[in-house]
């Protein structure tokens, strides 16, 4: 019997959408987006993060001013309760995805682990 991994992947995607972690993340995301001030602060924070990541990925070094600006912005957005809750929900979702990734990668770890022995 052939196994269609894409069917299982689609089932996993559906299960993720039904998970408490995803639904809590969506709720927190909607709350931030329904608050104009919080939404602007969060968007600014995300843009700063993305710009710094792109710069690092292209091999450019970050300046001290860029790092300090990012740290100040992060501290500021974390003071907003809605954004703070959203960031916590993002962290929980990220942890769940990392755990799922470990499960998915287990066959390869088993295979390569047994080759080392």
Q: How many CB atoms lie within 10 A of CB 86?
A: 23
The domain in which residue 53 lies consists of 5-116
What is d(CA 62, CA 49) in angstroms, rounded to the nearest whole number?
12
Work out how many domains the chain is built from and give that number: 1
What's residue 113's pLDDT? 83
pTM for the structure as a whole? 0.82
List the structure tokens of 114.
Answer: 């047994």
When pLDDT is cut at 50, 70 and 90, the band that residue 96 belongs to is: very high
Residue range 101-108: mean pLDDT, rounded: 94
33-92 pLDDT, tens digit per residue, is: 999 999 999 999 999 999 999 999 999 998 999 999 999 999 999 999 999 999 999 999
Half-sphere exposure of 80 (CA within 13 A, CB side): 21
Q: How many CB atoms lie within 10 A of CB 26?
A: 13
What's residue 1's pLDDT? 55
Q: Where residue 14 sits, what CATH number does that domain have?
A: 1.20.1500.10
């Amino acid at each position: 019997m052939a196994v269609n991994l894409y069917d299982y992947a689609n089932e996993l995607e559906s299960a993720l959408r039904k998970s408490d972690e995803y639904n809590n993340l969506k709720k927190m995301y909607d709350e931030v987006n329904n608050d104009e001030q919080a939404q602007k602060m969060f968007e600014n924070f995300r843009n700063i993060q993305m710009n710094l990541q792109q710069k690092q990925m292209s091999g450019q070094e970050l300046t001290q001013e860029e790092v300090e600006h990012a740290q100040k912005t992060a501290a500021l957005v974390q003071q907003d309760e809605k954004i703070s809750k959203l960031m916590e929900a993002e962290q929980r979702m990220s942890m769940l995805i990392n755990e799922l990734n470990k499960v998915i990668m287990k066959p390869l770890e088993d295979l390569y682990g047994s080759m080392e022995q």
